[in-house]
Structures are given as structure tokens and as C-alpha cells.
Amino acid sequence: MAEDIKAKLEQYRTAPFDARFPNQNQTRNCWSNYLDYHRCHKALDAKGVDTTPCEWYRRVYKSLCPISWVEKWDGQREDGTFPGKI
């Protein structure tokens, strides 16, 4: 399974189509993948497992989200004021 994930990460170019977000506006897709990355990272870190599978979410949100949003959300997480549930 880890080999499959690594192969997908190597061939990654941009966010693939996600049927949950069929419209042009990808704001919710960006938000969802940002949350999924941090949830995945938190859960796997707590178990002491390799967090490589979480990189997929990071790459997707990095390609969809404006940098200013990510910087704002990272700052909010550090300050403890982030509105999302991670």
C-alpha cells in the first residue's frame, strides 16, 4: 500500500477531479483537503505511524488553496483560533 501511495505522489501534477466538488468553485475542496491533511497527520502522529499517506492531502490543498489562505490558517492554528475541527 505504501508503494501505491509513493507512486501516486511521484506522478502527481495537480488536484484530480473529486466528485464531491463538481463545480468550478473549489473553495470547499481546498478547505476540506486542508483539514484532512492536518487530521491525518495528527492521527498518524498519535499512533507513531509514518505520515507519508497524508502527503496526498497536502499536495492537493497546496495546488488548490491560495497561499494567503494557507498562511492565515497556519497562523490561526498556532494561535489556537482556527475555526476548523482538527
Q: Which residues contact 8 (CB under 8 A, 6 or more apart)?
A: 56
Which pLDDT score, from 0 to 100, does residue 49 have? 93
Label residue 22 by pLDDT band (50, 70, 90): confident
Query: Which spans in the chain are helix H?
Result: 2-10, 27-47, 55-64, 67-79
Q: pTM here? A: 0.80
Architecture of the domain whose range is 25-80: Orthogonal Bundle (1.10)
> What average pLDDT does the segment 19-31 reach?
84
Q: What is the mean pLDDT of residues 38-46?
A: 95
User: By the 8 A CB rule, do 86 and 42 touch?
Assistant: yes
The pLDDT of residue 70 is above 80: yes
Can you tell me the distance from the alpha carbon of 55 to that of 5, in angstroms, rounded to the nearest whole number?
9
